[in-house]
Copies of this chain bind each other. A is one copy, B any other.
């Protein structure tokens, strides 16, 4: 069955987003799934392989979700991005980038490369969304769309981190300002 393999990836994903890559061990996966640690090594020979698989799944889900939304107006599309982060905030999780980037220097190269891929994909999508949205008058902002996209992503990422430390209401306070600055929903 593909079942166990999927469950391992899914649990690893949760663990990275809740405790960080360096802070979780195979035991955190084998115990709840009631399997042995060697079973994880059967599916993912090294922890690096598991980490890469987690990012791969995230990237594929991102591509699939945004692909389905492509026909919608850009403010709706951007709302999808905000909703994704809002959901994570409610679960007390941070995003993959927010979890992995502080540890970036300690991560094996294949993982570093995957993180770069993921960040590029998110940045490109957001840039395109903002650019087309501004052309249609759905957003109002100055400067390059790619720079503004960077600012949006930066805020979403950090609002999850700060919510952990300062309380979950912080997320809404930050994103509210962010959307106002974009002239969205006006």
Contact = CB atoms under 8 A, between A and B. Distances in A.
Kindly report how many copies of this chain are found in the complex they form together: 2
A148 to B, nearest CB: 6
Chain A: interface secondary structure? helix
Interface in A6-55: 18-20, 22-23
Interface residues of A, number: 46
Contact of A97 (B115, B157, B165): B165
Interface stretch (A64-72, A80-88, A169-177): A169-177
Contact of A173 (B103, B147, B181): B147
A121 to B, nearest CB: 12
Name, among A18, A23, A119, A120, the residue most crowded by chain B CB atoms within 10 Å (CB to CB).
A23
The 8 lowest CB-CB distance pairs between A and B, nearest first, are A158-B158, A154-B158, A101-B161, A23-B106, A22-B22, A104-B164, A22-B23, A99-B102
